[in-house]
Chain A
Amino acid sequence: MSAALVIAVKDLRQKLRDRSVLLMAVLAPLGLAFLFSTMIPNQETFHTTYAVVDLDGGEIAKGLVDGPLAGLATAGVADLTPLTTEADARAAVDAGDVSAAIVIPAGFTEAVRTGAPAQLLVIGGPSSLSAEVARSVLAGFGSQVTAVQVAVGTALAAAGEAPDPALAGELAAAALAAPAPIVLTAGETADRTASSKTYYGASMAVLFVFFAAQFGVLSLLAERRNGTLARMLAAPIAPATILLGKVLVSLVVASISMTVIVLATTFLMGADWGDPLAVAALVLAVALAASGIATLIVGFARTEEQAGSFIAVVALTLAVFGGSFFPMSQAPEGMAALSLVTPHAWFIRGINDLAAGGGIAVVAPSLAVLVAIGMVTGGIGLLRARQVVTP
């Protein structure tokens, strides 16, 4: 055991002096995580801007502006800019100053009151969702303001009576006084998606952990090439001890790389990873999985170069399908299911689960899968790698 430690410590010191380890295991993932999280707008916070042109100025138009539209502003969905002419609004949309414009035509209030056709106008820009939201709001408002007319019209038609102003007034009052038959309420959900800062920290960390994990086991092949392995085997050290030392280096470098990224994104970028103990467990589990996969590849490779480039191929392929570059929640269901064969998907899933709070129990499924991946691949890899160290 102590011999394994000596080998591991010597390798570690060698690796920490090598600047390419620092580049690939720490700087590259941190840089990419920082770039992604600052460049990509947080898609979860939909926010838009509307120009509002009230050419009518009547009571119902005011009701629209002060009611549903003001409601959008209060809910943080949209910023409203009042403009005076339709041409101004058109220009504002065209210039990209606002996402869409809402025009209330002159005579709108009068038309609604008399039951004449009334038309509201939405001028949409490049963002189709902004225009669709505006249209939904206006259509909903249209149904509300004509609800009383529908009620009065139906009641009069059922009674077969001529439109008597007094009766119509009485019916309208009754309709207005009735409570809304259908209400919308907000339900409680836990947010089990990590913030984009945390997501990109996690996804880049798990992408590059493979490059960190390769350093230990790869040196096994390098030492065989250099002839230093033969010399170690000539010493009274069991072959298994040498293997253990190398795997230890992989595990330690991988864990250190991930830990540095977790700490740096937390303190420099404001990422929120969640319960520290659970994060630490996930980090160790994913370091194990990455080391296992690296050991498997080393076990089957002939040369250091071959193993190194094959690890890069496997790491990038798994990252693409595992959701390191874009959240798998956005993907079609088939692809999201496919992603579950990768350690990347399970690690990111674990971090997402932690976003709602909770401790190590929450991430138990992720931990189990990651450890299993590490044990199986690492086990097969070590069986194969025994041939490398057999004198």
Chain B
Amino acid sequence: MNALAIAEVNVRRLLRDRTSTFFIFVLPIVLIVVLGTVFGGRVAPRMGIVAVESGALGAELVDAIRNGAMKLELKEPATVAELTAGVEQGTLEIGVIIPPGYDATVRGGGVAEIVILGEPQGAVSALREAVSQAVAAQAAVVQAARLTASREGIPFDEALAMARSVQGEMAGVTVAVERIGEGMFPAGTGAFAPGAQSQLVLFMFLTSMTAATQLILTRQLGVSRRMLASPVRVRTILVGETLGRFGVAMLQGLFIVILSAIVFGVSWGDPLAAGTIVVLFALVGTGAAMVVGVFSNNPDQAGALGVMAGMLLGALGGAMVPLEIFPEPAHTLAYLTPQAWAIQGLREVALRGGTVIDVIQELGVLVLYAVGLLALGTWRFRRILTR
């Protein structure tokens, strides 16, 4: 009972501080919103096309690119200068200029030049295939029309119409596409889900880490000495301090889970499996905070060390950038962190309908981390307390 009282004081002390509540409740939600807006709505590379005064054939080419094989977000800046600026600043992955008078050049028998803008060449060479495809189809009918018009002495437009109908009737070469395997995230993953999972893991750990500072303050202010003087056993103080940190991390975890589910419709999957991961991860965070707390000399050091460890492990463990896009060896190294295991487990449960059985490996690793860190932390803490 005494342990619970110590824990309660701990939680209250943190919640009364308004800036702590910002970090615990507001910032994670802000990040989920921003990440969801920036990456969630983004489905395809952006192509900018300027086809000012390029005539009917130019407009036809733009339509062909829009409906081509490559999924693109098509933007149409008003001027070439605007297009160039977009490409240079990276807001457009590729720029395409269909010159003014394109239609007349093509109809008149000249060679029309389409300019492709973009750096670096690697990405642009891939995206320009969308333009090549549309150009090849148009060039085929134009060439047929030119040949026919010159041989038969009929107007170009008439020949072009004939060529189009011949091309339409021809069996030609078609391309079938088959997909195997799933994308980075399964189809139907909401815009906010991956961000919510990462932010939950990142912030629960960071919150736990700030507790390291409090641990030292408790010691420095003599609170723990006074507690020891009262008829409270060392073990009770230890359990109480640990429970307090754990309570704060859990409170934050629940807040993020519930708010993201209600406001952004994020699904967390099987409650038992997801809940177990969250609880175990809160324990890991608590353990890590105690370790930092007992090995630091002063609150400033513990604070800085805690935040840095939280950020670095978060980054390395895929809580800032999705693990799914890590190259090797970073991908393998990531699994040295508890964050990576927690995120992998949450994804499995939320996105692929996993149950406790499916994430048993992730749970096992988290148990090991929690037990190891808590044991190390409480062992040292007992020594410091009783010193």
What is A's interface to B at a CB cutoff of 8 Å?
18-20, 23-24, 27-28, 31-32, 35-36, 38-41, 43-48, 72, 75-78, 90, 93-94, 96, 112, 115-129, 131-133, 135-147, 149-151, 153-155, 157-159, 171, 174-175, 178-187, 189-193, 306, 309-310, 312-313, 316-317, 320-321, 325-327, 329-333, 335-336, 352, 356
10 A-B Cβ contacts within 8 A? A39-B316, A39-B327, A41-B326, A138-B173, A146-B167, A147-B143, A158-B151, A187-B117, A317-B27, A332-B37
Interface size class of B (residues with CB under 8 A): 35 or more
- Whether the Cβ atoms of A143 and B145 lie closer than 8 Å is no
Inter-chain contacts of A335 with B (CB < 8 A): 34, 37-38
- Mask, B121-135, CB within 8 Å of A = 1, is 111111111111101
Contact between chains at A20 and B172 (CB < 8 Å): no
Question: Nearest CB to that of A138 among chain B residues?
Answer: B175
Do the beta carbons of B114 and A143 come within 8 Å of each other? no
Chain B residues near A182: list those with CB within 8 A: 106, 111-114, 135, 138-139, 142
B122 touches A122 (CB 8 A): no
A143-B139, A159-B151 known; A118 and B173 CB under 8 Å?
Answer: yes
Interface residue from A45, A136, A187, A317 paired with B132 (Cβ < 8 Å): A136
- Give the most central of A35, A48, A187, A310: most B CB within 10 Å: A187
Contact B129 A150 (CB under 8 A): no
Known contacts A27-B308, A122-B176, A132-B71: does B144 contact A183 (CB below 8 Å)? no
Q: How far is B178's CA from A121's CA once the two chains are assembled, in angstroms?
A: 8
Q: Which residues of B contact A18 (CB under 8 A)?
A: 300
B75-103 contact mask (Cβ, 8 Å, vs A): 1 or 0: 00000000010011111000101000000
Q: Is B162 an interface residue (CB 8 A)?
A: yes
Contacts of A333 in B (CB 8 A): 91
Q: Which residues of A are found within 8 Å of B379, using beta-carbon distances?
A: none
Residues A154 and B312 in contact, CB atoms below 8 Å apart: no
Contacts of A330 in B (CB 8 A): 38-39, 42, 90
B141 sits at the interface (CB 8 A): yes
Contacts of A145 in B (CB 8 A): 173
Known: A32-B312, A146-B170. 9 other contacts (CB 8 A): A28-B307, A44-B123, A46-B122, A124-B179, A136-B68, A150-B140, A154-B159, A182-B135, A330-B42
**Is the CB–CB distance between B140 and A146 below 8 Å?**
yes
User: In the complex, what distance in Å separates the CA atom of A144 from the CA atom of B167?
Assistant: 12
Could you tell me if B330 and A154 are in contact, using CB atoms closer than 8 angstroms?
no
Instruction: Known contacts A20-B303, A146-B173; decide if A139 and B69 are in contact (CB<8 Å).
Output: yes
B113 close to A183 (CB less than 8 A): yes
Contact B71 A128 (CB under 8 A): yes
Given A128-B71, A184-B116, A185-B115, are A331 and B37 also a contact pair (CB < 8 Å)?
yes
Known contacts A45-B123, A119-B175, A179-B111: A147-B68 contact under CB 8 Å = no
* Interchain nearest-CB distance for B187 vs A (Å): 11
- Find chain A residues with CB under 8 A from B368 CB: none
B33 to chain A, nearest CB (A): 9
With beta carbons under 8 angstroms apart, the residue of B117, B126, B179, B330 that contacts A38 is B330
Hey, which chain A residues are within 8 Å of B184, CB to CB? 126
Contact of B304 among A20, A140, A146 (CB under 8 A): A20
Structural contact, A158 and B143, CB atoms closer than 8 A: no
The listed residue (A28, A116, A185, A193) touching B113 by CB distance below 8 A is A185
Output the least CB separation between B251 and chain A (Å).
Answer: 19
Select from chain B the residue with minimum beta-carbon distance to A23: B304
Residues of the B chain whose Cβ atoms lie less than 8 Å from the Cβ of A75? 121-122, 125
The 10 A-B residue pairs with the shortest CB-CB distance in the complex, in nearest-first order: A142-B173, A309-B19, A147-B140, A329-B90, A143-B136, A117-B171, A135-B69, A75-B125, A151-B144, A136-B129
Q: Which of A18, A137, A154, A157 has the most CB of B within 10 A?
A: A154
Q: Which residues on the A side are within 8 Å of B138 (C-beta)? A: 182
B118 adjacent to chain A (CB < 8 Å)? yes
* Min C-beta distance of B67 to chain A, whole Å: 11
Q: Which of A46, A90, A131, A175 has the most CB of B within 10 A?
A: A46
Residues A126 and B183 in contact in the complex (CB < 8 Å), given A155-B148, A158-B154: yes
Docked complex Cα distance between A181 and B163 (Å): 15
A19 and B138 CA atoms in complex are apart in Å by 67
Partner of A124, one of B87, B159, B180: B180
Chain A CB count within 10 A is highest, among B125, B301, B326, for: B125
Q: Does B2 contact A (CB under 8 A)?
A: no
Q: Do B30 and A180 touch across chains, with their CB atoms under 8 A apart?
A: no
On whether the beta carbons of B142 and A187 are closer than 8 Å, the reply is no
Residue B45 lies at the interface, judged by CB distance under 8 Å to chain A: yes
B166 within 8 A of A: yes
Partner of B122, one of A76, A139, A183: A76
User: Smallest Cβ distance from B160 to chain A, in angstroms?
Assistant: 9
B322 to chain A, nearest CB (A): 10
Of A39, A147, A182, A330, chain B has the most CB atoms within 10 Å of the CB of A182
Residue of B nearest to A120 (CB): B175
